[in-house]
Structure 1
């Protein structure tokens, strides 16, 4: 079973309830990730690790045709309600994706890839399902923040399975993930033939400062997320 599925099944209701307003999502990671999207009107986009559908809803609002994919069936139930114009598939990003080659104009992913252990096959699969010159935009936890903030991280230069206890979504849950150095974030995509176009280490918005001034001061001076845009081979 994928390592984070039990945790996110339990967190689904909380994500649905406060994911639109939780500052670290709504006023830090999500605006940074969506700023990397180009004109997606009438494009066919895969939301890889769609969760409860916040990014799916954004893509639909910009005119895209979207398939949302997630391993958590509980999350997908909320995603279907939030973005009824999209289609949804229950599948594991760590396995062969259930799509034919050259299916999508773009792939978008918000804070999902770091729950996948092996990234070389992941990015080969993303390259396979993208059309030539397709785009890939994704966010992950920042490698430096992961190493500094996970108590069980021991070696920055090695990939490690780590975990933390979350209580900000109304349910206290231990959430496992995989952390890796920056080189291991970039190399799998480059090795699969992607070209890096843009990188962003986002800082919190003014809305974040108003919502949580104390946490804003920390986020404004410490990295938390990393957002990247790649282009597939023509």
Structure 2
């Protein structure tokens, strides 16, 4: 099934993109720190465009891609100065000499193990992105790993917003390789009646040492950050900053 249809995309845009905006703030500080010349920032799995809006307001040219057409339509409205398209991050040809590539909000967890293998594995994927970066360019992304399913491996959570509510059941596999999110969205229709939309997301889990090894093999200098500015990493969540050598 397709992920992030119209309803869930709108809910995500309303209540779940704060971390992407925090990631954009962290990236901007890093670009200033290393005095990167202005170049394109490519946002893979860009979501509804909250980080793209922050980056374009700071004067950076932004290209955003996402597999969800609903997300892309929202992003076009939120960040009209960016260039958006529907595309798969694993096959999208990132333009050369990019100043930065981002994958905020666990985008890299979503491709299946089979899709990653078909693309050549993590190190091959990171190598292609390194080749697209300008010298000193930045690859910044976050992932979830084993332990993100909580102490018992499963839990249920909920959230409400303007005109919607959401209940999600999280279940981490016993082998700690995948995590399943069963998401039910409720939107009021009339009186006490609600319309329900359900999506099931199965994502891959990665240990940080696996990611660091793949980044190193791809020729990138990488570190694990404590999180983004104002959004520290929780248990089982990891934030990576990698740079192409100058």
TM band (smaller chain) = 0.7 to 0.9
Structure 2 CA distance for aligned equivalents of residues 163 and 114 of structure 1: 11
CA contact (8 A) 2:22 2:230 kept: no
Structure with bigger strand share is 2
- TM-superposed deviation, 1:85: 0.3
Judged with a 3 Å threshold, the aligned counterparts in structure 2 of structure 1 residues 84 and 202 are, in CA distance, closer, same or farther, namely closer
Unmatched segments (≥5 aa) in structure 1: 206-218
Quote the Cα distance in structure 1 between the aligned partners of 2:172 and 2:206: 13
1:103 paired to 2:100: no
Instruction: Judge conservation of contact 2:24–2:54 (CA < 8 Å) in 1.
Output: no
- Match 1:57 to one of 31, 48, 53: 53
Output the aligned Cα RMSD: 2.9
Counterpart of 2:25 (choices 7, 31, 34) is: 34
Tell me the TM-score normalized by structure 2: 0.71
Q: How much does 1:224 deviate?
A: 5.2
Aligned length: 205
Larger radius of gyration: 2
Q: TM-score, with normalisation over the residues of structure 1?
A: 0.74
**Contact 2:42 2:64 survives alignment (8 Å):** yes
In the aligned structure 2, how far is the partner of 1:204 from the partner of 1:58?
15
* Higher relative contact order structure (alpha carbons within 8 Å, sequence separation ≥ 6): 1
Change (3 A) 1:59 1:203: closer
Q: Which of 108, 114, 121 is 1:113 aligned to?
A: 108
The match for 1:180 among 206, 228, 245 is: 206
Measure, in 2, the Cα distance between the counterparts of 1:99 and 1:202.
24
